[in-house]
Amino acid sequence: MADASAPRDGGDSRLAAFADPLAGWHNDDILLDKDARQALGAVQPQLLRVLDWPELRALFKQHEGPANQHVRRGRQLGLMAGGCGVLALAVAAVALLVPQGAAVVVGAVALTLAAVAGALFAARRLVTRSTELWLGSRYWTERARGLYFQVLINNLDQAVAAMTDNTALAGWKATRARALEALPPARDMADRVRALARDVSDDEVWILPEWREPPPPPTPGPDLDRLLERLRAQRFDVQIAYSRRKLGESMGAPRRRAEANAALAKVAMVVAAVAGGGAGLALLLGHGPETLVTRAAAAVALAAVGVVLGLRALNDALYPSAELVRFAGYNAAAVQARAQFDGGGLDAKIDALRAMEAHAYRDLRDFIASHARD
């Protein structure tokens, strides 16, 4: 899942209900953040030897930036188009309340805003290539995240040996280097996204084909236990925390913002209906279309409709309901896998880690498919 790491706590607790719970996430599950590496190295330096992967970190950062840039561009165009559309309706509503001479000027402004909204919307639809680049970068970064864990899950004995033996550490780094070469070329990602959007049957979780079948069970021991517990924290705890913050109670969480927008849209819809009914009643009582009471009611109805359309566009652009459903499903799958990890022996723990890779890949496929259709 994108951008998964533990956010930093702090700040005025009175503002916690309004803070963005996803601010400051640094992908600490794969130790991209310097603070996370220092914290682990201070308490378990042997684990840092095998969990820190500088080569993967450098490539991940190289593609994370473009992914974020592409999504910001599309969202900004969508928000600007929606904002201009709402302003166009609001200005048109004002035209109903001013003298006829001024109404011509106001109407021209409304028409200009509507034209700008249309142009921005068309521009957003025309940046399909940008969307494909964004999704391609996101696909690559999430496969890189998966590779980080898949190498560990399928080479536990080697990783454990590398915790204390320098010769084994050299072999461990060679194993990782070979695995890194198996990642799909980043230059082909836009084409890969188009193929993924068409082929919904793709279920290739494992980056290396030989990983499809579990390797022989690792040798039990205290170092293995320490490594598995760290994998529990990085693969399960971080992802559960991330998805829960997406679905959280803070007004900064996407779920609550989506709910607030939906509630405001319903209120605006009621206002539009009441105002529209008021305009009809005014006409029924003999007030002509040119009277202030009729025009005022019509203006309020028109403005309220603009608010409804704007809020719904905002929800679609930033907090689509499909995304929230996806996060809820992913959270449930991760919680179930962690419970399996906690409740069983060595075999169950490894099975749970392998199951988590399948959950993460299915979530990535759902993410690509939903956004490729936008």
> What percentage of the chain has pLDDT greater than the value 70?
78
CB neighbours of residue 26 within 10 Å:
18
* Lowest mean pLDDT, pick from 43-57, 177-191, 255-269, 352-366: 255-269
Q: What is the pLDDT of residues 230-277, one digit of tens each?
A: 999 999 999 998 888 777 655 555 666 777 777 787 887 888 888 888
Segment 108-135 mean pLDDT: 74
For position 167, what pLDDT does the model report?
96
Q: How far is the CA of 5 from the CAs of 27, 206, 248, 284, 341, in angstroms?
A: 4, 22, 16, 61, 20
Query: Has this prediction a pTM greater than 0.75?
Result: no
Other CB atoms within 10 Å distance of the CB of residue 130:
17
45-50 average pLDDT score: 95
